[in-house]
Structure 1
């Protein structure tokens, strides 16, 4: 038979005395291995809050069982006494055990394995593989994240951050997310999408808000106002993707308006042809096929107004491709072009660009964007789809911190 040292390695426990092993029959006819253990002399009778050695108070509620990782196909349990201790600082509490965290009925190795697997596989796979429920997986992930963040300040050292929102459920339910541009990790997230939510972040940041140098975001005023009030020295930088999207939306609105006008005049054929140009107009020129390039060239002769709007949209893209001084000059020229183009949608675009011109210039000079945030949002949408949705925002926030916050624990036993 294997010696006790090997059995302790198999069970994933340390500072533990293995008393004996017993096999039990389950009601389903399976086999259950029960290991009777106790903390060794070094770890016995310690406070679960401060880890202080304390005097025994009473036997508590008797013996308890904890779930370790399975041994092959056989389920295992650890069984031990759960006495209570009297701590001078925390009063009477159930004594800590070296194989599990306070309040958990699973060993530390088991919880770390569940958290790692949840970060890399669907919950349905985790529940099937480790024989736990969805609710148990969510509770374990929440506890693992709480332990990982207990002794660390994730808001320390922030200089360049990005702020965005993501819908986590139907009915306009949003999370506000803050990402550190230095490493791309999520440093803060909370339910809501308004000034009050973002002010909660700045309350947690405190005086360290003075160290912020750049904040990337879209054109939402609920982001701009708190940043100006709480970190006035930070440069607000508009995300290039959102700015270019303004131009793309204006171009598409013009195309739809022109197609509707043609239909009202009974010209169904030209209206249908114009409707089919949507993707040709909004795609990057380098991604167009030969047929699409031919169609676009035809628009230059058959629909000069739409083609002129297309060129304005393309110049907006080139503003961010040029960067710095070149982009600044292109932006000024683009705004002037929008003002005199006499196309309603682009006159409005010119007014919007004029309003946000200082923020766009900040983007050109810093070279920052919300690309990391958009990648994070895409990842969180995939997480939500993989989990078939989350009932509470806290569950999604915990998964976001696990997978995109750098808090995923390593698999136990791996070097």
Structure 2
């Protein structure tokens, strides 16, 4: 587990494990007085983190990381995509086989096979932001819009939730309410389930927009720690890695012999 300071932009504390005991260990290390000085806490959607933060820092504003919220929507979209592809493959297995070479002009159509072939490679067309799509991916997305309204609706739901985080607070609150209403009646189980989680985290989502907080600094710190891991290779305990991480990323400047 990694804890960073948003203001100082440095690593504050880290320990092995990612569970409620680890989170509680950090707040016990701080003590009640310093816990009371914490004003904002950003984290992913893990319930065990939120529960302990509410106990230890009841006055802190709790923020849900936008990246993880959009990731939930992407995972729901991918669940719909996989189900659609599997349905097409199941249909294709029941279609008559074709021999080698070009099919005859009077050969029966094979919609399942054509559909499965079209959906192959559609993952990145659905995952990527519209402004980052290649020309081929734009064509693939347009094909999905024409041939599979349900999958395309799931894509629009994902994009709608992502757009919420790009709006000012008042507009974002209104857009989030509209998204929840849309997802609730979309008749796509993955997104109906997702909207329940969004409703649960609604206040923290809006807090992330209001205070412009995310876990981006934590993700950056984790990337740097993975690089430091190479330096700690061969040590028998995580304490060596933790010490290197705190020395490198924690802002510590110990006095060295012979240095001024």
TM range (shorter): 0.7 to 0.9
CA distance in 2, matches of 1:385, 1:295: 41
Instruction: Indicate the residue corresponding to 2:24 in structure 1.
Output: 199
- In structure 2, stretches of 5+ residues that fail to align are 93-111
Map 1:221-236 to 2 at 5 A.
221-236=47-62
CA-CA distance at 1:306 after TM superposition: 1.0
- Residues paired across the two proteins, number: 240
Point out where structure 1 has 5 or more consecutive residues left out of the alignment.
1-175
Given candidates 216, 241, 245, the residue that maps to 2:42 is 216
Distance 2:21 2:204 in 1: 23
CA distance in 1, matches of 2:67, 2:119: 25
Shift of 1:355: 1.2
User: Where does residue 343 of structure 1 map in the other structure?
Assistant: 188
C-alpha distance in 2 between matches for 1:385 and 1:253 = 36
Instruction: Give 1:414 deviation, angstroms.
Output: 7.8
- 1:323 deviation in Å? 3.5
Q: CA deviation at 1:196?
A: 2.1
Choose from 124, 138, 141 the match for 1:293: 138
Instruction: Give the aligned CA root-mean-square deviation in angstroms.
Output: 1.9
Structure 2 matches for 1:144-159, cutoff 5 A?
none
Any idea what the Cα deviations from partners look like across 1:293-348, whole Å, max 9, x if unmatched? 12212221111111111111111111111041111111111111101110111111
Q: Aligned pair in 2 of structure 1 residues 406, 352: CA closer, same or farther (>3 Å)?
A: same
Q: Deviations over 1:46-105 (max 9, x none)?
A: xxxxxxxxxxxxxxxxxxxxxxxxxxxxxxxxxxxxxxxxxxxxxxxxxxxxxxxxxxxx
Confirm or deny that 1:253 pairs with 2:253: no
- Structure 2 distance, partners of 1:290, 1:390, is 49
Structure 2 Cα separation of the partners of residues 406 and 337 of structure 1:
46
C-alpha change, 1:208 and 1:257, in structure 2 (3 Å) is: same
1:120-199 alignment runs, 5 A limit: 176-199=1-24
Looking at structure 2, the residues matched to 197 and 257 of structure 1 have their Cα atoms a distance apart, in angstroms, of: 37
Deviation at 1:387, TM superposition (A): 4.5
Deviations 1:97-139 (A, max 9, x none): xxxxxxxxxxxxxxxxxxxxxxxxxxxxxxxxxxxxxxxxxxx
- Residues 255 and 275 in structure 1, CA contact (< 8 A), matched pair in contact too: no
- Output the CA distance in 2 between the equivalents of 1:260 and 1:397: 45
Q: Is the 8 A contact 2:232 2:241 kept in 1?
A: no
* Aligned mates of 2:242, 2:72 — CA distance in 1: 30
* Aligned ranges 1:268-283 → 2 under 5 Å: 268-283=113-128
**Which structure dedicates a bigger proportion of its chain to helix?**
2
Confirm or deny: 8 A CA contact 2:157 2:179 kept in the other structure.
yes
SS at match of 1:237: strand
Determine the C-alpha separation between the residues in 2 that align with 1:227 and 1:369: 16
In structure 1, C-alpha distance between the alignment counterparts of 2:150 and 2:175, rounded to whole Å? 21
Which residue of the partner structure matches residue 101 of structure 2? none
Determine if the alignment matches structure 1 residue 355 to structure 2 residue 200: yes
Query: Which residue in 1 is equivalent to 2:242?
Result: 397
Provide TM-score, normalisation by structure 1.
Answer: 0.55
Larger Rg: 1
Change in Cα spacing, 1:271 to 1:411, as seen in structure 2 (3 Å) is: farther
Query: Which of 123, 127, 149 is the equivalent residue of 1:304?
Result: 149
CA distance in 2 between counterparts of 1:243 and 1:265 reads: 34
